[in-house]
Amino acid sequence: MKKLFFLLLGVYLFASNLNWYSDYKKAFEVAKKENKYVMVDISKHDCPPCEFMKDTVMSGGDVVKILNSKFVLVEYYADADDIPEKFRKHYFNFTPAILFYTNDGKFITGVYGATSYTHFLEELKKIIKG
C-alpha cells in the first residue's frame, strides 16, 4: 500500500511540474528563445474531458517529458478568459481544444476532445518530428 501511495504521489508531483503561461505573447517569446513549439490548451471549468486530459493524459511520464522539453504551454479557460483572436480560427467552442503552433505562430494541428494517453503521445511525437 505504501508503494502505491508513493507511486501516485510521484506521478502527481511530476505532472504538476508543467509550466503554464496565461500570456500567449510571452509564451511565443519564450518558445522562440528556447526553440520550442507552443501548445495552447483551451478548457472549461467543470469539464470532465478537460480534467481527464490534464489529470490523466498530461500527467504521464513520457508526455510530461516531451511537453517540458519541446513545448511552451499556454492555458485558457473558455468560460472565464477572453480567448485571443489568434486562436479563435482553430477553436470551435468545443473543449478541450489543444492547439499546436510553431514558435513563429504557424498553426500545426489540433487535438479536439479527450483522447487517450497513447494517441496524445503519438501526436506530440509527430509534431516534433516535423
Q: Residue 17: which pLDDT band, with cuts at 50, 70 and 90? A: confident
The confidence score (pLDDT) of residue 130 equals: 85
From CA 22, how far away is CA 63, in angstroms rounded?
A: 21
Residues in CB range of 58: below 8 A, 6 or more apart: 15, 18, 64, 67, 120
On the CB side of 114, CA atoms within 13 Å amount to 13
Residues in CB range of 114: below 8 A, 6 or more apart: 49, 50, 52, 53, 57, 96
Which of 118, 120, 101, 119 lies closest to 109, judged by CA?
101
Q: pTM of the prediction?
A: 0.86
Please count the other Cβ atoms lying within 10 Å of the Cβ belonging to residue 5.
Answer: 9
The CATH code of domain 2-129 reads: 3.40.30.10
Q: Give residue for cell 481544444.
A: 97
Selected residue with higher pLDDT from 85 and 15: 85
Q: Is the pLDDT of residue 88 over 90?
A: yes
Q: Residue 8: which pLDDT band, with cuts at 50, 70 and 90? A: very low
Which residues are 110's β-sheet partners? 99
